[in-house]
Amino acid sequence: MRKSLIAGIVLFASLTMTSCYTSKVYHGTVTDKTPQVEVASRTNQILLWGLLPLDQANQEAKDSVGERRNYTTKTQWTVVNGLLNCVTFGIYSPTTTIYYVPLDEK
């Protein structure tokens, strides 16, 4: 009984916490090979499986990168974000957004 309970917990954890979601969007002439530096990072507070943002719904990139036309936006679920999502059954599901600019434009 105890072995099957432990196996079930391990199976559940491995299926629900397999990887972190990451999405990158390149703006302007930036590519994945362009050397970049991180300029800002923010946690997006979201409720109800992504339906209800708690902070500014339309946070703009210019708040973080200024008037630059070349930058990268990376949005991800970190391990901590995924853990919080699992513990609250998706009611609270934060993400992290990181902004990068080319090294020569800093």
Asked if residue 5 is part of any domain, the answer here is no
Domain count, the chain: 1
pLDDT digits (tens, 9 = 90+) for 56-105: 645 677 778 888 889 999 988 888 888 888 888 888 888 888 999 998 87
Asked if residue 86 is part of any domain, the answer here is yes
Cβ count near 88 (within 10 Å): 12
Cα–Cα distance list, 89 to 16, 24, 72, 94, 104 (Å): 11, 26, 31, 12, 43
For the whole model, what pTM was predicted?
Answer: 0.72
Asked if residue 13 is part of any domain, the answer here is no
Which residue(s) pair with 96 in the sheet?
43, 76
Asked if residue 55 is part of any domain, the answer here is yes
Asked if residue 8 is part of any domain, the answer here is no
Cα angle for residues 30, 34, 36 (degrees, 5° grid) = 95
- Helices (H), ranges, the chain: 2-16, 62-65, 79-87
- Residue range of the domain that includes 33: 20-105
Asked if residue 3 is part of any domain, the answer here is no
